[in-house]
Structure 1
Amino acid sequence: MTEYSWKHQTIIQALLSRGPLKENEFHSIFKGVTGKTPGTDQKLFKDFLLKINKALSFIHFELRGCRHQYDGQIYYGVVNNVSDEQSKLGTKYSVPQIAFYKAIIEAIVQDATAHGVISNIDALNLRLENQVLTGTESQSEGGLHHVPPTMKNFSISQKEKTLHELVRDQWLIFTADGNVALGVRSFLDLRSWFRSNDVPSCHVCNEAGVKAELCQNEACTARIHQYCLKQLFSQKKGERVCPSCGRQWKYAVPKAEAVQNDDELNGPTESQPPVGSRRLRRRTNNAGDAEIVGTGSSQIPAPTSDLRRITRSSVRRG
């Protein structure tokens, strides 16, 4: 692979200007830039991404792929690998909005049923006081949390407006039945946070099981993504059992998923589980200029502002 060139920069600019892209969209841009198809030129594709990440590493960024646990599709996006006070200065979200986002994330991942959602009403009723940091700067002399007035006075209408902004920017999504769930940017950026906060992982792919099916054996802690179940049981003609405890797993392939395309049958892309075909009725748009969050801390990072200009100049120097 040659040195970093306009081709690499074009890929980065596409991700930053459009936000996370579905795998087929990302592959289409790669083919348009290089004239090569990722499926048939896998080594070239991997080397190309490695070259991009080598350049982005100088500014602590990374081009990353992930599978969206609600629609089963693979997405690619650029993320910030560092979560610190400096990176938070670039966010377009206010302190109460960030606290609200954190509260939603925590409520979703702490759900023992692994439905991966929170109702719209429950989200709007979340108390932001619980998101106040316990550090010295956030405590009073008596040891009680000091709650900023902006968080105390964060109204329901402000929360509702923030919800729509987070959905627009792909941090969250609205499901078909009106619940709030994680957006693709949260899955891209929170991978390290999921692990450091002991979010139970899928028994098949070992990624966080935010939206997953649970073993019917109450004594078993296994949870498996729907698309991982589909891949696991499609390979077995015999009895479908839990891979952890061996109990029969009641699973029926939805009619909408009975017919698969060739890409789905080819299995996972690298370490990712296979693609499912469940779709959400309401989808987020691609508006926004890649407000990136970090994953280098045990705290849920905050969405940050447009980083295209910073990335372009820094990569060129790299």
Structure 2
Amino acid sequence: MAPLSWRHHTLLQALLSRGPLPECDFHALFSAISGGKNPATHRQLFNDTLLKINKELSYLQFELRACINQYDGTVYYGVVNNIADEESKLGSKYSVPQIAFYKGLLEAIVHEAGNDGSITNIEALNTRIENQVVIADGSQDSQSRLPTSITNFSLSQKEKTLNELIQDRWLSYTSTGKIGLGIRSFLDLRSWFRSNDIPSCEVCNEAGIKALSCSNEGCNVRIHEYCLKKKFSQRKASRACRGCGTEWPRLEGEVDGVEDVNEPGEDQAPSANLPPRTRRRGVKSEPVEENERTDPSATMPRRSLRSNKAEAVKVAQEAPPTGPSQSTRSSKRRKN
């Protein structure tokens, strides 16, 4: 296999130095290094580039991956570690009690916060870390055997660690001011979510950390809000829950049947690599716009042309002459 080119290295270096990038920034970077080729219109080239990078990274158990921030629906790209445990994700920057604190916050957010996927700042600082420590013999430490770094982990140390985790994007502040998972957690912990039986979204099959639940209390189906909007934007999409048949409630701002008929089918999961709907509409309208430029009358009904012509003739007949009036010409003759 040919070695990675400078273009591949540039993409990797940008992600490693800046961290996960929003899709728009990553696409702009790809366009800049590929001579202005937009990933939306050069999809095969874009996919081939990522595939080549991932084949090289697989030897190191790393991967260039895309995921969606479940709190705002933004797609991100980043380089992730494919080893599943949280300790390897956080690396050597964090101490043992800090890693234990993160694990406690992670469990509180995905298990105890419900479908909201967030906890308050007070709840975060009150998270206990004693039961997150496992000693060499494989058993959890009792209170008497805990190391002093764990037992003496103070409130101020928790607050400092919380700020660092947010700054490093392992955690984040949500739009409501609560503590939620950061984009690096969504990118790196995909396998951890699955191994810990976190309910998946019915549409995209990703962990439903921030998701909506079926209104039937006995049904555990979850769907991300952005997946739900995309699913119901299709003209013939059924609103019945696949788990129990209960109808999903209408979302705020949802409009019936205005989306493009070329949207993915009801059973197709949304892809982070699909171009925006507005971009597809622009592509569809190009032939029409071209016809209008070459022959404006081509898009105008024949009856409309005849009626417009007749109306123009009528107006011209009723309008006064454009030259001097009769009285003006008479007065000129008298003066002469």
Q: What is the TM-score when the length of structure 1 is the normalising length? A: 0.76
Per the alignment, residue 42 of structure 2 pairs with 41
For structure 1, which segment, 177-186 or 246-255, has the greater mean C-alpha deviation from structure 2 after superposition?
A: 246-255
Between the aligned partners of 2:194 and 2:217, the Cα distance in structure 1 is: 23
Between the aligned partners of 1:38 and 1:240, the Cα distance in structure 2 is: 33
Q: Which amino acid aligns with 1:203?
A: E
For structure 1, which segment, 236-245 or 164-173, has the greater mean C-alpha deviation from structure 2 after superposition?
A: 236-245
Per the alignment, residue 172 of structure 1 pairs with 171
After TM superposition, the structure 1 = structure 2 runs for residues 75-90 of structure 1, keeping only pairs within 5 Å, are 75-82=76-83, 87=88, 90=91
Question: 3-state SS of the aligned residue for 2:112?
Answer: coil
Q: 1:168 to 1:5 in 2, by over 3 A?
A: same
Between the aligned partners of 1:79 and 1:114, the Cα distance in structure 2 is: 25
Per the alignment, residue 245 of structure 1 pairs with 244
After TM superposition, the structure 1 = structure 2 runs for residues 99-248 of structure 1, keeping only pairs within 5 Å, are 99-111=100-112, 113-133=114-134, 135-136=136-137, 146-236=145-235, 240-248=239-247
Q: 1:132 to 1:6 in 2, by over 3 A?
A: same
**Is the contact between residue 99 and residue 131 of structure 1 (CA under 8 Å) also seen in structure 2?**
yes
Cα distance, 1:184 vs. partner? 0.3
For structure 1, which segment, 243-252 or 223-232, has the greater mean C-alpha deviation from structure 2 after superposition?
A: 243-252
**Is the contact between residue 67 and residue 273 of structure 1 (CA under 8 Å) also seen in structure 2?**
no
1:173-228 alpha-carbon deviations (Å, 9 max, x no partner):
01233210000000000000000110000111111001000101011111110001
Between the aligned partners of 1:135 and 1:254, the Cα distance in structure 2 is: 54
Question: 3-state SS of the aligned residue for 1:176?
Answer: coil
Q: Which has the larger radius of gyration?
A: 2
Between the aligned partners of 1:199 and 1:168, the Cα distance in structure 2 is: 25
Between the aligned partners of 1:248 and 1:86, the Cα distance in structure 2 is: 42
Between the aligned partners of 1:13 and 1:272, the Cα distance in structure 2 is: 21
Between the aligned partners of 2:43 and 2:238, the Cα distance in structure 1 is: 35
Per the alignment, residue 14 of structure 2 pairs with 14
Per the alignment, residue 300 of structure 2 pairs with none
Cα distance, 1:119 vs. partner? 1.1
Between the aligned partners of 1:54 and 1:229, the Cα distance in structure 2 is: 33
Between the aligned partners of 2:98 and 2:18, the Cα distance in structure 1 is: 23
Q: Which has the higher helix share?
A: 2
Cα RMSD between the aligned structures?
Answer: 3.2
- The higher-RCO structure (CA 8 Å, 6+ apart) is 1
Percent sequence identity over aligned pairs: 57
**Is the contact between residue 109 and residue 180 of structure 2 (CA under 8 Å) also seen in structure 1?**
yes
**Is the contact between residue 130 and residue 143 of structure 2 (CA under 8 Å) also seen in structure 1?**
no
Q: 1:61 to 1:101 in 2, by over 3 A?
A: same
Cα distance, 1:268 vs. partner? 6.7
Cα distance, 1:3 vs. partner? 3.9
Between the aligned partners of 2:90 and 2:249, the Cα distance in structure 1 is: 49
Q: 1:217 to 1:48 in 2, by over 3 A?
A: same
Cα distance, 1:156 vs. partner? 1.0
Cα distance, 1:244 vs. partner? 2.3
Question: 3-state SS of the aligned residue for 1:77?
Answer: strand
Per the alignment, residue 317 of structure 2 pairs with none
Q: What is the TM-score when the length of structure 2 is the normalising length? A: 0.72
Per the alignment, residue 23 of structure 1 pairs with 23
Per the alignment, residue 4 of structure 1 pairs with 4
Structure 1: state its 5+ residue gaps: 276-318
